Structure 1
């Protein structure tokens, strides 16, 4: 029943499925206090959320920054909407289950004659984002163009979308992924022993050169897009997203392959630092740092500190080989005034133990709420 290949599909106009709203033509409010109302912008991450504001922040803001303002009701949008970016990162869609405010670079969509829920929204978002390839920064997806757009949806009879099927399909995927995560989470918990240790504040720290911590510090090798072949080897470059993975390639010659190490972006998103547990090809835009017998928990602890290099570098000031040889980081030390790698390892194990338990508690609570509905 849930196999997509055996479902009948049909084409619909966006305007047949959605009430298409215009976002509010406004600049982002000034932050005067911590709020809980999300501002949705034309971005490709974080569910479209760029900041949280209070009602007062939103009410007091105006495009021109003066008293030429509009009523709060025109700036707030109701819950259970899909927000589609129409400018910038065009064609990304995000479900909003609470009230929100947004820019005019976003189209809020509401189902006609039906209240949207998260399961239906997840299915529709996948269908909406299939059209992303049709748009780019210079070809916006404003409401006037969106009402002429089409969307393919499964149907229960001619000209009638099968929302019940969409909901059940999404739930089946979510339940399957949740069960896999719970099994993985339990495996992680079984591999970790929680121990009481000193807090970071009570621990003594000292400065160390990177060249004194790591036995190998080496830049990757240049590999242009044109010379990349399709494959399943992660290609790590200067992006600050997705653990630095920029592509998956098949190149195995005339490249530099690293594994089980730390990477730092030396250009682009300068300072972005990640632990890489697998074999990967490193571009010339990253530098890999490795120390024999250092485990992933220590690498992850240190990556938080090396990420701070982004505060002193930027696109015009890169981390070259000479500069990285002079870089220092502060580390907790033991009684011999050496880096306390055992402490770092246990600290990250404790943090992992706490976070995984929090995630499991959240999942179990969320499933309980669903069963009571």
Structure 2
């Protein structure tokens, strides 16, 4: 069962037809929860799910409190503005504009099959201007495989996901058994540097989506998304303002960090461009910028929608960087470190390609 059986009959259903429904969730704002790492680790904790695209929607682990309205385990959470769907094995609480599909009567594999069907149908329909709601999900028809009784073939769906998981585990085990020595970071000589000592920061261009034609050319159109290095499409930029590449780009609304190798057009997300100052131009290589990207990313906990990054905040910040014995940034070390990481990743990719 390497692929879906195209000879199998599929039928259209809505979730309520399956005695499955989507619901809204009580909102817990970030200020109303306490991160589990900040107090006694012996306290009972619970996952705090938000609209994010990563980490299965888990923003952080928080202290469980008696007044929490808890969403049951074995359900599918989804973000109203992001359209991201995640299966939750544990009970959880949620942030703003998060909903869930009650799949608690299904097995995990059956729920995962349903999740992929729902996500494929609805993911592109959810934006910050068009919020996905429980009502929309409940009233959207989906195609599911059916058995001889013309009912959803949950057994087939469960077996299909189980086979996919087994194949994925086999490949992961092969990759994990590749003997690659880990890269160690020299933490002996690091010092703080003021942002303004090393970098410049400027606003990117500001081109609205309605001004571009997706797929019309070869120029990257960059947003504040953390996916695909921020690239949502390649466009014809003949008559558009273009930003010069070889720089770091910070999403002003999301604090996503990306390295942009080539020239690009930016959308209207208040993105910020960071470059090494002219006196450090000789060190402005891809490897150095990739190392710096990881350093900037380490400060992501500080910025969020309520505390968005901007030029003034960056200019007043400091960064912890490796240094030489003379107390200046060790650009050579940064370059060599990334070179080694690239080599390790290349080895794993080549090994994966042979599977």
Contact 1:236/1:280 (8 A) holds in 2: no
The structure that has the greater radius of gyration is 1
Residue of structure 1 aligned with 2:262, choices 259, 274, 279: 279
- Compute the TM-score of the two structures, normalised by the length of structure 2: 0.66
Let me know the Cα RMSD of the aligned residues.
Answer: 4.8
After TM superposition, the structure 1 stretch with the greater mean CA deviation from structure 2, 13-22 or 245-254, is 13-22
For residue 344 of structure 1, give the secondary structure of its aligned residue in structure 2: helix
Q: What aligned pairs does 1:191-210 form with structure 2 within 5 A after superposition?
A: 198-199=186-187, 202-205=188-191, 207=193
For residue 52 of structure 1, give the secondary structure of its aligned residue in structure 2: strand
Q: What aligned pairs does 1:234-313 form with structure 2 within 5 A after superposition?
A: 234-237=220-223, 239=224, 241-242=226-227, 245=230, 247-253=232-238, 254-256=240-242, 258-265=244-251, 267-269=252-254, 272-276=256-260, 278-279=261-262, 281-283=264-266, 285-287=271-273, 289=275, 291-292=281-282, 294-307=284-297, 308=299
For residue 338 of structure 1, give the secondary structure of its aligned residue in structure 2: coil
Contact 2:28/2:94 (8 A) holds in 1: no
Specify whether residues 170 and 293 from structure 1 end up closer, same or farther in structure 2 by C-alpha distance, changes over 3 A only.
farther
Indicate whether 1:154 and 2:145 are aligned. Answer: yes
- Compute the TM-score of the two structures, normalised by the length of structure 1: 0.64
Residue of structure 1 aligned with 2:108, choices 113, 117, 124: 117
Q: What aligned pairs does 1:1-373 form with structure 2 within 5 A after superposition?
A: 2-3=3-4, 5-20=6-21, 22=23, 25=26, 27=28, 30-31=33-34, 33-34=36-37, 36-41=45-50, 45-54=54-63, 57-58=64-65, 60-61=66-67, 75=70, 77-78=72-73, 80-85=74-79, 88-89=80-81, 92-102=84-94, 105-110=98-103, 112=105, 115-118=106-109, 120-129=110-119, 130-131=121-122, 141-142=133-134, 148-170=139-161, 198-199=186-187, 202-205=188-191, 207=193, 212=198, 220-231=204-215, 233-237=219-223, 239=224, 241-242=226-227, 245=230, 247-253=232-238, 254-256=240-242, 258-265=244-251, 267-269=252-254, 272-276=256-260, 278-279=261-262, 281-283=264-266, 285-287=271-273, 289=275, 291-292=281-282, 294-307=284-297, 308=299, 318-319=310-311, 329-347=319-337
Contact 1:14/1:148 (8 A) holds in 2: yes
Specify whether residues 127 and 354 from structure 1 end up closer, same or farther in structure 2 by C-alpha distance, changes over 3 A only.
same
Specify whether residues 208 and 123 from structure 1 end up closer, same or farther in structure 2 by C-alpha distance, changes over 3 A only.
same
Structure 1 residue 142, shift from structure 2 partner: 3.6
Stretches of structure 1 that go unaligned for 5 or more consecutive residues are: 63-73, 358-362, 364-373
Stretches of structure 2 that go unaligned for 5 or more consecutive residues are: 38-43
After TM superposition, the structure 1 stretch with the greater mean CA deviation from structure 2, 126-135 or 343-352, is 343-352
